[in-house]
Every structure is written in structure tokens, then in C-alpha cells.
Structure 1
Amino acid sequence: MATVYLSLGSNQQREHNLCSCLQRLRQDFTAVVCSTVYETAAVGFNGEAFLNLVVRCTTSYTPEALQTYLRTLEDAHGRVRNGEKYSPRTLDVDLLLYDDLNQQPEQNLPHSDILRYPFVLFPLLELDPELIHPALRCSLQTLISTTGLSRDSLHPFTLNCGH
């Protein structure tokens, strides 16, 4: 079983889509643990604020099979793939880490968003403060220092999924 970290985000029917996604992840994977949910402004376009979180779980899927599963999960939640990188999302699920696998740059694993966005890096740190970035071989705390990312844009949000 591999330990994986997933980044989840939504800015369209965001609570419904994230709760539905989490329910599905809990059905299909083991040891599912969620970070704090954060509300963050849309990046790269004018739109509704996003809800973002990171999930740690274990799976027997290969990285390729997991990517296919995640794409199918997004599609089941009405994800529109229109080619615009920065646009509204019903559900965006990215594979951040798969054990300590380093498949950069061909598979973007570890995911480059770890170094780019506070709503990815800080929830990841919350779930595993001792985690080492597989490609850079340094701690997440070191990455915070070197990237200059700040928690200032992160606003904790209480997601009520009814369980």
C-alpha cells in the first residue's frame, strides 16, 4: 500500500462537490485523513473563492491508475476540460505525492503546486510535519523558508459534510 497526498479544490457548488468527493475517497481508500479546509481567492482569473484541502490516504493503485481514477472522479463531478488552466472548477483533484516517488518532470510527481501555492504546501505540512520533498530532498518547513509562501491568503473554513 502506498501513502498518497491529494490536493482538492472547488469553487462551484464547492461544499457539495468536496463533501461528495470526500465520501467517495473514504469508500475507495483507507486511512483517509483531511487537513484544515481553507477558503482562498481564485488565482489567475476573476471568480468565486475556492475551498481547498489536502487529503492523505493509502492505496494499492499504481500512480498511473490513481491518476485515471482522479480524472474520472473529477468528471463525475461535472469537471469541464476546456483547455483554460485558470478557470472555475466543480472539482480539481491533483496527486501531490505518491510515497517518495520522484517522476519529475515527465509525470509532475511530486506535483509542482507544492512549491507554488500556500493552499497546497501548508495543509501538506499540517498532515505530515516531518515529510521530505522527494525531488528536492528537504523538509516542507525548509520549502516554506525558500519559497517565501505565507499563510496570509489562507482562511480556515468549516466544511460540514454531515458526518
Structure 2
Amino acid sequence: MARVYLGLGSNIDRHKHIRAALSELRNRFGDLIVSPVYESESIGFKGSPFFNLVVGIETPLAVGALQHSIKAIEDQNGRVRGGPKFSPRTLDIDILIYDSLVGEHDGVHLPRDEILTNAFVLWPLSDVAADELHPQLKQTYRDLWAGYDKSKQALWPVQLAAP
């Protein structure tokens, strides 16, 4: 079984799509490790604020099969593909870490570069995997978050509304 961390984000009907994604991830992968939910302003375009969180799963699926599975969850939640890279999203799920894999695997670059550049990825990852090591830098996510320039991006914890 591989230990995987997924980044989830939504800025369209955020409560609904994040809850739906968590439910479907539980159905497919069982127990989840779920970070707090954070809200941040849109990056790269003017739009509604995003909800972001990180979810840890264990899976026997290879990277490509996992990617296919999470894209199906996005599609179930109305994800529109083919638009601009920076645009509103009903649901975005990215593979951040897959065990200690490094490099291109089944078309997925691991570990995901956004871990080191976006607070909305690194902060929730440090919440659920604080003592785990970044596979390239060999630093803990706790230490990476402690050294992150927090003035680069505003981010604040929020409560996910009950269904």
C-alpha cells in the first residue's frame, strides 16, 4: 500500500464539492487523514476565494490508476476541463506525494512543485504530515512550513459547513 497525500481545492459551491470529494474518497480508499480547511484568495485570476485542504490515503493503486480515479471524482463534481489554467474550479484534486517517488510517473510529476510554492498546499500538508520528509529536500513538512515566507500568500482556517 502506498501512502499518498492529495491536495483538494474548490471555489465554486465550495462546501458542497469539498464534502462530496471527501465522501467519495472515503468510499474508494477507506480511512482518510484530513487536514483543516483553509481559505485563500484566487491566485492568477480574479475570482471567488478557494477552500483548500490535504487528504492522506493509503492505496494499492499505481500512480496512473490513482490519477484516473481522482479525475473521475472531479468529473462527478462538474469539473470543466480545457479552460485557462488559472480559473474557477468546482473541484481540483492533485497528487502531491506518492510514497517517496520523485520524477515523472504515469504523467504525474512527483512530488508536486506547488508544495514548496503555495501556502494553501504546504500549510495543510504540514498539518497532516508534519514529521514526514519531502522526498527531495529531506526536510520535514513542519520545517518547510516554519521556513515559508507567510507574507507571500494570505491564508486562514475555516470551518466546513455541515451538510
TM above 0.5, yes or no, is yes
The answer to whether the 8 Å contact 2:126/2:145 transfers is no
Q: Are 1:26 and 2:40 an aligned pair?
A: no
- What is the TM-score when the length of structure 1 is the normalising length? 0.91
Mapped partners of 2:101, 2:70: distance in 1: 18
- Name the stretch that deviates more: 62-71 or 105-114: 105-114
Over the aligned positions, Cα root-mean-square deviation in angstroms equals 1.9
SS at match of 2:103: coil
SS at match of 1:71: helix
Deviation, 1:152, is 6.3
Structure 1 equivalent of residue 78 of structure 2: 78
Mapped partners of 1:70, 1:29: distance in 2: 11
Unaligned runs of 5+ in 1: none
Mapped partners of 1:27, 1:79: distance in 2: 19
Structure 1 equivalent of residue 126 of structure 2: 125
Deviation, 1:86, is 0.4
Structure 2 equivalent of residue 50 of structure 1: 50
Deviation, 1:160, is 2.7
Deviation, 1:115, is 0.7
SS at match of 2:109: coil
Mapped partners of 2:153, 2:71: distance in 1: 30
Q: Are 1:9 and 2:9 an aligned pair?
A: yes
Q: Are 1:96 and 2:99 an aligned pair?
A: no
Matches within 5 A, 1:61-72: 61-72=61-72
Corresponding residue pairs, total: 162
- What is the TM-score when the length of structure 2 is the normalising length? 0.91
